[in-house]
Amino acid sequence: MARIFSGIQPSGELHIGNYLGAVRNWVQLQQAHPGAIFCIVDYHALTGNYDPAVLRQRRHEMAVSLLAAGIDPARATLYAQSTVPEHTELAWIFNTITPLGELERQTQYKDKSSRQESVVVGLLTYPVLQAADILLYLADTVPVGEDQVQHLELSREVARKWNARFAPEDAPFFPEPKPLLTPTRRIMGLDGQAKMSKSMGNTIGLLEEGDAIWAKLRPAVTDPARVRKTDPGTPEVCNIYHLHKAFSPPPVVAEVAEKCSTAAWGCIECKKVLHEHMEAELVPIRRRAAELREAPELITAALDAGTETCRTIARATMGRVKEAMGLT
């Protein structure tokens, strides 16, 4: 049986890229895998510039969003990373076996560090903490979007290196965790230029109101070949079509493809149909979020229970790690 772990930064609101690339998959996976663990990675969020009061608020909001999206504390474990100190303990240990060159090659590190004048060490060792997150629970399956594939390669290398050095050859201790991608592994922003991401300001928030979503969809970029309504388009090159594939039922997706390539529909008509199907999925999520905001004690209870569960597992792992490394 797969052991599932994944994480999300509380560095902004949960957007539909996160939802379609990862979180919707978490909600499905918890059915067949009741022990799945989902973590709000607040330590990871410290590597960017941030305001403590805003972080506190966003951590809470992320819990609201995840629970509203369908994470069920009766089936899955939800908690905040900084409430389980073993994450940073194991990260230090992994720092001592991770090759510097591997960290310097990480695309995310190269991107982010090139945009900063002074680069903090935490940005470089970010993937080491991520490896610790996963391996602390001996997880082997990590549902994420495509942008995390390289970080998971590094997690596998860390597991291999630790096993080679400290575990018997015939009984590796850490599994080699693999990414689990969805069909919507990379959602583009509404500008159609870059990945949908908190830092690009090109997102649709999971909890945004219907009118606000429509105000963003209406001017969103479509197939550039469709200058006039009568110009036929190529669905596959259009971001709106990909959102249809994520939100609309298959017969509607087929109809969209047909109406676009024959210019029977203009882009606005196509977006209206998309908006309807998005609302069908998102209205109940918004409703649950509003209910949860009225009951903060439910959120605290879910997170506290998650911390308890995780500390028990984490302590056991650290016990075995320290034993193997001569630290007892």
Q: Which segments of the chain are extended strands (E)?
A: 5-8, 37-40, 77-80, 141-143, 178-180
Stretch 155-174: interaction string toward ligand TRP, x if CB under 6 A: --------------------
> Which residue, 143 or 266, is less far from ligand TRP as judged by CB?
143
Query: Which does residue 17 bind out of ligand TRP, ligand AMP, none, counting CB within 5 to 8 angstroms by kind?
Result: ligand AMP
| Catalytic residue, candidates 161, 198, 245, 272 | 198
112 belongs to the catalytic site: yes
Site membership for ligand TRP, residue 73 (CB under 6 A): no
Stretch 115-144: interaction string toward ligand AMP, x if CB under 6 A: -----------------------------x
Tell me the window of 93-101, 195-203, 282-290, 303-311 that interacts with ligand AMP (CB under 6 A).
195-203
> Which residue, 88 or 262, is less far from ligand TRP as judged by CB?
88
Query: Both tokens of residue 118?
Result: 């002074």
Site membership for ligand TRP, residue 9 (CB under 6 A): yes
Query: Which does residue 187 bind out of ligand AMP, ligand TRP, none, counting CB within 5 to 8 angstroms by kind?
Result: ligand AMP
> Which residue, 56 or 315, is less far from ligand AMP as judged by CB?
56
Out of 4, 5, 8, 222, point to the residue binding ligand AMP (CB under 6 A): 8
Q: Are 19 and 44 in contact (CB under 8 A)?
A: no
Spatial separation of the C-alpha atoms in residues 206 and 282, rounded to whole Å: 7
Q: Give the nearest distance from C-beta 133 to ligand TRP in angstroms.
A: 4
Query: How far from 107 is each of 60, 94, 187, CA to CA, in Å?
Result: 29, 20, 18
Nearest CA-CA partner of 285 in 212, 206, 172: 206
110 belongs to the catalytic site: no
Q: Mention every residue, 6+ apart, whose C-beta is less than 8 A from residue 117.
A: none
Identity of residue 42? D
Site membership for ligand TRP, residue 134 (CB under 6 A): yes
272 belongs to the catalytic site: no
> Which residue, 60 or 87, is less far from ligand TRP as judged by CB?
87
Give the residues across from 79 on adjacent strands.
Answer: 39
Print the SS3 string covering 246-270. Answer: HHCCHHHHHHHHHHHHCCCCCHHHH
Site membership for ligand TRP, residue 45 (CB under 6 A): no
Nearest CA-CA partner of 3 in 38, 35, 40: 35
Out of 25, 106, 148, 182, point to the residue binding ligand TRP (CB under 6 A): 148
Identity of residue 1? M
259-264 contact pairs (CB < 8 A, 24+): 260/223, 260/226, 260/232, 260/233, 260/234, 260/235, 261/232, 261/233, 261/234, 261/235, 262/232, 263/226, 263/229, 263/230, 263/231, 263/232, 263/233
**Taking CB positions, which residue lies at the least distance from ligand AMP?**
21
Site membership for ligand TRP, residue 58 (CB under 6 A): no
| Catalytic residue, candidates 110, 161, 178, 195 | 195
Query: Which does residue 196 bind out of ligand TRP, ligand AMP, none, counting CB within 5 to 8 angstroms by kind?
Result: ligand AMP
Number of H helices, E strands in the chain: 13, 5
Stretch 163-192: interaction string toward ligand AMP, x if CB under 6 A: ----------------------xxx-----
Q: Which residues bind ligand TRP (CB under 6 A)?
A: 5-9, 41, 44, 130, 133-134, 142, 144, 148, 151
| Catalytic residue annotation | 112, 195, 198
